[in-house]
């Protein structure tokens, strides 16, 4: 076994995960210039895995590079976020329809526990916990659905949505989301793929209303793109 090759792959993936998380959380802000040397020092890596990570993030639309100029975190463009939302919503609908008849009692318990945690986080105003719990609930369906292409597409485009959602989530009541989650779990427990798919579509469509919320623009780019 080539241990060096495995190590390099792991470092590249670790760098990718760390930088992506920082972008989604806003630690690396929209429009912020990023340098592979600085990021490597902060992460304790060499520059090579960081460069690989930035190239991957550029493919996913989270960073952009201008030759002989700079690399920066992409600005928040509402139109791009909503385009990603259409894709993610559709993939979650596919996952829900496929998963309903494959869910175990333990899977349903995991979804209930995730929604309980989601409710607590929403009521506490803890955006990070709420979004983590929300992901945990929907991930049960994605995993049970068993479609790797669906899972990969969701993983690729969800960060584009979460970046903006983290900044707007606290301005919108979350009780409706808690009830929709409960309805989704009930549909899954009843083994009703049609209802589960419809509720899933409603959940993700409601997010479009959040993203349209009339709040202070987050950047010049966002302001220009907001209808």
Query: For 84-138, how does the pLDDT look when each residue is reduced to its tens digit (9 = 90+)?
Result: 999 999 999 999 999 999 999 999 999 999 999 999 998 888 888 888 999 999 9
E-strand spans in 57-208?
Answer: 63-66, 70-73
| Predicted local confidence at residue 210, as pLDDT | 65
Q: Please give the model's pTM, rounded to 2 decimal places.
A: 0.81
| Predicted local confidence at residue 195, as pLDDT | 98
CATH of 3-73, picked from 3.90.580.10, 2.60.40.1250, 1.10.10.10, 3.30.56.10, is 1.10.10.10
Give CATH 1.10.10.10 domain extents, the chain: 3-73
Give CATH 1.20.120.530 domain extents, the chain: 78-211
| Predicted local confidence at residue 11, as pLDDT | 85
- The end-to-end CA distance of the chain, in Å, is 55
Structure tokens at 19: 């930088």
78-211 CATH: 1.20.120.530
Residues of the chain with pLDDT under 70: 1-9, 167-173, 210-227
Q: Is 66 left (phi over 0), alpha (psi -120 to 50) or beta?
A: beta
Vertex 97 angle, CA 96 and 99, to 5°:
60
Please report, for the chain, how many H helices and E strands are present, in that order. 10, 3
| Predicted local confidence at residue 163, as pLDDT | 85
| Predicted local confidence at residue 20, as pLDDT | 93
Vertex 126 angle, CA 124 and 129, to 5°:
120
């Amino acid at each position: 076994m080539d241990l060096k090759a495995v190590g390099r792959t792991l470092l590249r993936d670790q760098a990718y995960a760390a930088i992506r998380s920082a972008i989604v959380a806003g630690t690396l802000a929209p429009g912020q210039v990023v340098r592979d040397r600085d990021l490597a020092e902060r992460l304790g890596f060499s520059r090579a895995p960081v460069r690989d990570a930035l190239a991957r993030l550029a493919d996913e639309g989270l960073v952009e590079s201008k030759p002989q100029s700079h690399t920066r975190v992409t600005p928040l463009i509402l139109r791009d976020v909503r385009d990603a939302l259409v894709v993610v919503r559709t993939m979650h609908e596919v996952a829900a329809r496929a998963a309903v008849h494959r869910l175990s009692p333990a899977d349903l318990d995991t979804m209930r526990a995730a929604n309980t945690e989601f409710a607590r986080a929403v009521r506490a105003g803890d955006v990070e916990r709420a979004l983590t719990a929300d992901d945990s609930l929907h991930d049960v369906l994605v995993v049970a659905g068993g479609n790797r292409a669906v899972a990969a597409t969701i993983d690729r485009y969800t960060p584009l949505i979460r970046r903006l959602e983290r900044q707007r989530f606290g301005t919108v009541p979350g009780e409706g989301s808690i009830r929709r989650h409960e309805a989704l779990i009930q549909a899954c427990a009843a083994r009703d793929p049609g209802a589960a798919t419809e509720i899933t579509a409603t959940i993700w469509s409601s997010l479009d209303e959040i993203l349209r919320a009339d709040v202070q623009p987050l950047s010049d780019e966002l302001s220009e793109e907001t209808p």
